[in-house]
Each structure stands twice: as structure tokens, then as C-alpha cells.
Structure 1
Amino acid sequence: KCAPCRLGIRQMHAIIEEICAGRGQPGDIELLEELAFAVKRGSLCGLGQTAPNPVLSTLKHYRYEYEEHLFRHHCPAKRCLGLFRYEIDPVVCKGCGLCRKNCPTGAVTGEKKKPHIIDQEKCTGCGTCFDNCPVEAVGKV
């Protein structure tokens, strides 16, 4: 019944997904802000009138993070899979092989007791190597 909420929130979600995936476009921040205010003004129920508040709050307090995603293709929180990658620090890696054994795509290679490496072409960003490394040699960059 209430189109601004139903359609506006869906569109806001799509814009945020694109930004987080590294496919955001110049002007997305402004469009997101305009949409949020339009949903707030045009919605008939309390839910629709308040649903944009988290987005407006993050735009107000963390706008620089949106800008980092859009213009530098960098996620400061290292949470957006399209905007960081896993790498193994060869100085810290002991070559235990846990990352290699647990990698579902076979992206991690290396000999026992020697530093391992991640093939970025095969890596899906699942984080299994990060979660399984006992010496914290796997990092997000």
C-alpha cells in the first residue's frame, strides 16, 4: 500500500550493497541521502518514517567511510569482501599447513614448515585461513 517505504528501502539497500561490493558510483552517497529523506517524508506508517534513520545516522557520523568505499575502494573496517583481501605474512607464518588444509578452494599453497601464500585468483574471501591460523599470520589488507 505504501510505496515510498517498500520501494525506497529496497533501493537504499541495493545502493549500500553496491557500495560495499566496490561497485558504488559517484553520487551514490547523495542519492542514498535523498532517498532516505524521501522515504521518511513519504511513508504513512511509523516503521517507514523511522526505517531510514540508521542510514541517515551513518551518513552523518561515518560519511568518510562511505567516501573511502566509493573513491578509494577501501573498507576501513575490513568487513566488505570486495574491498579487502587476505594475505599471509611470510615472517610470521610457520608453515603449519592449517590454512592450506582448511581452504575450501585450494587457494593456499606452501610446503610444510615454510611460509604459505594465497592465490588471490582462487581466494573467495571466506576467511577460513584467517580463522584457522594459530599464529595470526593471515591478515586483511
Structure 2
Amino acid sequence: MNQLIGVLAMDSPITYEQPDDREAFETLFLSFTQALQVLSHDAATQCEEMGNYNAPWEIQHDVQDGCFLLLRSPETHLTGEQSEALRDLTEALEDLPREAVAPTGMTTTNHEGCLTAMRHPAWISLRERAVPLLQLLVPLIQKNAAYFKGQ
């Protein structure tokens, strides 16, 4: 049996090809814009889109991590204005009060807990920021769509 496993392993090596910088950027940008779109929606929609499971934490980190990585990507095509908007959004997400992410005495692994957290007033300005940021990113969103259409 061990000999058979050894032969199978040699005949079918698993390889992983590291994506190039451009592919990594485009994939990251797509994931980020999807997270930003979720952030732009109302609380109930956000919870539904995130499967009513840890929505506040997931949204906070998906957008924040995306901003962080996009700002540091060697392939970034962000303008100064876009970069500044991402930095501002990252800071605002960092400043979310604990109650906006994990309400005391509630779990965010169900609809009620997610909705309570996402209805915290601190999320209002973040939703309001997401819409114009998406508009500001439209040229890059269009380039991103063209990139994946060509794949």
C-alpha cells in the first residue's frame, strides 16, 4: 500500500503557481470592491449578504484589510485622492466602538445580533462614505472588470 501511495504521489505532483503582481492586485481589488459594496448597503441587507454570521467583524476586516493591501500593492493604480479616501476609511473602521462590532450580551452569529451591531450609529457614516468611494473608484472598477473579462 505504501508503495502505491508513493507512485501516485510521484505521478501526480501538486503544483501551485504564484499569481503575478497584476493578477494579485486585480483579485484583491475585486474582493475589496465587493466588500465596499456590502458596506454601502443598509444594516438588514448587510446582515443578509454576510449570512447573518459575524457581519460587523467581517465587513470591518474585509474592507480594512483590502484598503491596507491595496495601498501597499506594487501594482496599485490608485490616484492620490483614491489613496487618501482609502486611508480615511481604514482609520474610521479602526475607530469603530466595540458595541458596533460586538454588542454587549449579544452574539453576532445570528440575525438579531448582527442587526443590532450593524444598526449602531457609528456604521451610518461608514455607509455614507462607501457610496462616493465606489464612485471615485469607477475607472478602476471598469479596468478590473475588463481584466477579468479577458481572462
- For normalisation by structure 1, the TM-score amounts to 0.39
| Higher RCO structure, 1 or 2 (CA under 8 Å, sep 6+) | 2
Query: In proportion to residue count, which structure has more helix?
Result: 2
Query: In proportion to residue count, which structure has more strand?
Result: 1
